[in-house]
């Protein structure tokens, strides 16, 4: 079975009717969507971590804990915990607590993040971008394994026979590594034997196959069993009642947001032709009607040699709460069964 779920960045798009963002409303509606995803039989709901005005997910474990009290079965995870900018002790404590609150449903995806604002915010040097992540990931994994930790490193004060609590229900609590497109990140995850979550926000999905092969080969050489080397995809997507409806709903907000972000990163403005190419048979986007999207998920899985989890990122396009609820229902009632019946 492939796990199907939703990732959210808690996009601050809800308004109070006079054009001013209403943050409390955004969070309230987000919690309602997580509850709805649980009721619709989805497997997982993830929250990202950003430190920007347009997103309200700077403290994802807090929101997930609130969702835990309103849900019963769905797994609750970070879509990415920006581990480079966090203390691994606190990260473990936060998600161990979430695991207790949720009755053993907590997970985390750790990564370096796609934005860099957390580095100056927390007094970090961008020159240490990779080194600090590798060190903190090592500490996090040691904390997960050992209740009493002795450790020393470059970027955090040493720990000497320090007990770290609370301990989660799950032993071990699942930790995925979130990656973009650097071969070193894939190899590192394989050597550590950690499940891999690939954020594919553009391009052609099948082109990641050589990197996935690197991951699996590195894991094999490190002695990890193949079933331990899970691969998941985080994909931009949206499901409408029909393909035409999905495109009409999704494209305007997507184009506005990514054109705005593109100004920061030097990307060209979004065009409809580029969007249609991404929505096409080989492109990364999962935008369409239920049958079309299910078929594309299956193609993506085959192209990468099999994936175990697929998460839709939908709230980056200014979609209304009602449209997002409808999309969640379609994913749960139609897309998920179609995918799993096929595989």
Q: pLDDT tens across 292-340, in order? A: 999 999 999 999 999 999 999 998 888 999 999 999 999 999 999 999 9
Percent of the chain with pLDDT over 70: 97
Per-residue pLDDT tens over the stretch 73-107: 999 999 999 998 899 999 999 999 999 999 999 99
Position 123 scores a pLDDT of 78
Per-residue pLDDT tens over the stretch 252-304: 999 998 898 888 878 889 999 999 999 999 999 999 999 999 999 999 999 99
Domain count, the chain: 1
Position 11 scores a pLDDT of 85
Instruction: Give long-range contacts, CB 8 A cutoff, 24+ apart: 24-28.
Output: 26/56, 27/56, 27/63
HSE toward the beta carbon, residue 334, CA cutoff 13 A: 17
- Domain range for residue 64? 3-342
pTM: 0.94
Q: How confident is the model at residue 115 (pLDDT cuts 50, 70, 90)?
A: low
Given a cut of 90, is residue 231 above it in pLDDT? Answer: yes
Whole-number average pLDDT of the chain: 93
CB environment 27-37: b (16+ within 10 A), e (fewer): bebbbebbbbb
Q: How confident is the model at residue 18 (pLDDT cuts 50, 70, 90)?
A: very low
Contact 85, 48 (CB under 8 A): no
- 82 — phi, psi (to 5°)? -75, 85
Residue 141 is part of a domain; what is its CATH number?
Answer: 3.20.20.30
């Amino acid at each position: 079975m492939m796990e199907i779920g939703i990732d959210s960045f808690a996009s601050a798009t809800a308004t109070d009717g006079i054009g001013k963002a209403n943050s409390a409303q955004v969070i309230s509606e987000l919690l309602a969507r997580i509850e709805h995803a649980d009721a619709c039989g989805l497997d997982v709901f993830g929250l990202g971590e950003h430190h920007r005005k347009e997103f309200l997910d700077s403290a994802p474990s807090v929101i997930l804990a609130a969702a835990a009290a309103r849900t019963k079965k769905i797994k609750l995870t970070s879509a990415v915990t920006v581990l480079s900018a966090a203390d691994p002790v606190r990260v473990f404590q936060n998600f161990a607590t979430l695991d207790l609150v949720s009755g053993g449903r907590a997970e985390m995806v750790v990564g370096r993040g796609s934005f860099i604002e957390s580095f100056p915010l927390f007094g970090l040097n961008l020159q240490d971008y990779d080194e600090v992540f590798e060190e903190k990931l090592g500490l996090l994994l040691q904390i997960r394994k050992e209740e009493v930790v002795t450790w020393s490193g470059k970027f955090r004060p040493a720990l000497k026979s320090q007990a770290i609590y609370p301990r989660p229900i799950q032993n071990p609590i699942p930790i995925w590594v979130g990656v973009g497109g650097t071969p070193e990140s894939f190899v590192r995850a394989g050597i550590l034997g950690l499940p891999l979550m690939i954020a594919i926000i553009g391009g052609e999905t099948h082109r990641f196959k050589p990197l996935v092969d690197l991951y699996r080969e590195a894991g094999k050489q490190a002695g990890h069993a193949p079933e331990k080397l899970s691969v998941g995809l985080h994909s931009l997507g949206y499901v409408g009642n029909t393909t035409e409806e999905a495109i009409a709903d999704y494209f305007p907000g997507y184009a506005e947001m990514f054109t705005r972000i593109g100004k920061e990163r030097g990307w060209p403005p979004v065009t409809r032709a580029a969007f249609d190419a991404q929505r096409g048979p080989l492109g990364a986007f999962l935008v369409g009607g239920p049958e079309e999207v299910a078929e594309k998920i299956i193609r993506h899985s085959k192209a990468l040699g099999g994936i175990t989890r697929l998460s839709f990122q939908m709230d980056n396009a200014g979609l209304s709460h009602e449209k997002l609820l409808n999309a969640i229902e379609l994913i749960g009632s139609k897309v998920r069964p179609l995918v799993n019946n096929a595989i």
